[in-house]
Copies of this chain bind each other. A is one copy, B any other.
Amino acid sequence: MIVRASPAAGSDAAAAEIVGIDWGTTRRRVVALDARARLLREWEDDAGMLGVSGRFAAALDEALQRVGPVAGHALVLMAGMVGSAQGWHAVPYVEAGSPLETLAQRLFEVPDAPRGLRCRIVPGCRWRGEAGAVDVMRGEETQLLGAVALGRRDGGFVLPGTHSKWVALRDGRIERFRTYLSGELFALLSHHGTLAPLVREPREDAAAFADGVRASGRGALSQVLFECRARVVAGDLPAASARDWLSGALIGTEWHDALQRLGRPSAPVCIIGTAGLAALHLRAAQQLGVPAETLDAREAQLAAWGALARGLGHSPSGRRSTP
């Protein structure tokens, strides 16, 4: 469990009016907010969808206990895989194209919430393109709503991670998006198969990362992945640097592919991520001469909970009004 310093922690802590839970496959990030959506307390643990064995109501009750005092009329907002077929309730996707700011009107009301709390799940988003292309997200739509709430309504966005999302927003609507299996491939290849022995005992190597980014522009990913091994075997790449080379190849593949699909962006691409991963994407962007900037994923998430609460009529005074 990671507990961050919280402005109002302690035994006489203020009761939360809003609880936001980013409930993913393997992680759960919980924040307690006051009626103005200001942060009171927050923590995260590994009680993700896979970690609670289907006992979501009990897991939520336990989370509420741990987050400190919660007002009896508090609003509980949840996003992510908790709303998938393997989650608590299978919440139908919203089709891409509608304004993210209307997500508050599309929330799923949880019928079996503990303590009789008002408890809502944000629906995921589905996009359909030409020639049968289709993509889905659960959780990232909420961070994107946060970006919109923070004034970023247009342009290209990257939300790196296990399943890295590349999204085009236009006037606060998701125009289209594509997902890359980058983080999952990195984990798979680090633990199994031919490349796994190479990425043990790694050391940081910015040049290897940059070289991986370069290599990823020259061929299909399945070929580039083998090249990591070939370079080590041929003595051209130290085994200790293979991890960073591989990371560069996977992240570089995203940037090269996105540039090919979308052309060079006129405005900076916005990277919404945790510090470490966002920094790697920023390096890849700089190397390829693409303007980019970062937005902290936590900030975006907090802005999203506030926007959803306001959209539900959770007024700054703390009283609810009809939306």
Name 21 A/B residue pairs within 8 A (Cβ), A-sorted: A85-B233, A128-B234, A132-B215, A133-B227, A134-B227, A134-B231, A134-B234, A134-B236, A163-B226, A178-B223, A179-B226, A179-B230, A180-B220, A181-B223, A181-B225, A185-B222, A188-B188, A219-B257, A220-B220, A220-B253, A221-B221
> Contact at A221–B220, with CB atoms within 8 Å?
yes
Most chain B CB neighbours (cut-off 10 Å) among A184, A185, A218, A226: A226
* A192 located at the interface, meaning its Cβ lies under 8 Å from any Cβ of chain B in the complex: yes
Tell me which residues across on chain B come within 8 A of A191, comparing CB atoms: 192
From B135, B189, B218, B233, A188 is in contact (CB under 8 Å) with B189
Query: 13 other contacts beyond A179-B226, A220-B257, with CB at 8 A cut-off?
Result: A136-B230, A163-B194, A178-B223, A179-B227, A179-B230, A181-B194, A184-B194, A185-B222, A220-B253, A220-B254, A220-B256, A221-B222, A222-B254
Number of interface residues of A (CB under 8 A): 48
Is the CB of A131 closer than 8 A to any CB of chain B?
yes
Within 8 Å by CB of A222, from B134, B136, B180, B211, lies B180
Q: How far is the CB of A239 from chain B (nearest CB, A)?
A: 12
* Closest B residue to A233 using CB positions: B136
Tell yes or no: A261 within 8 A of B by CB.
Answer: yes
Give min CB distance, A160 to chain B, whole Å: 12
Q: Which residues of chain B come closer than 8 Å to A182, judged between CB atoms?
A: 222
Neighbouring B residues of A226 by C-beta, 8 Å: 135, 163, 179-181
Which 8 pairs between the two chains have the least Cβ-Cβ distance? Answer: A220-B257, A221-B221, A179-B226, A180-B222, A181-B225, A134-B234, A181-B226, A181-B222
Q: Report chain B residues within 8 Å CB of A256.
A: 220
A176 CB-CB contact with B under 8 Å: no
Q: Does A298 contact B (CB under 8 A)?
A: no
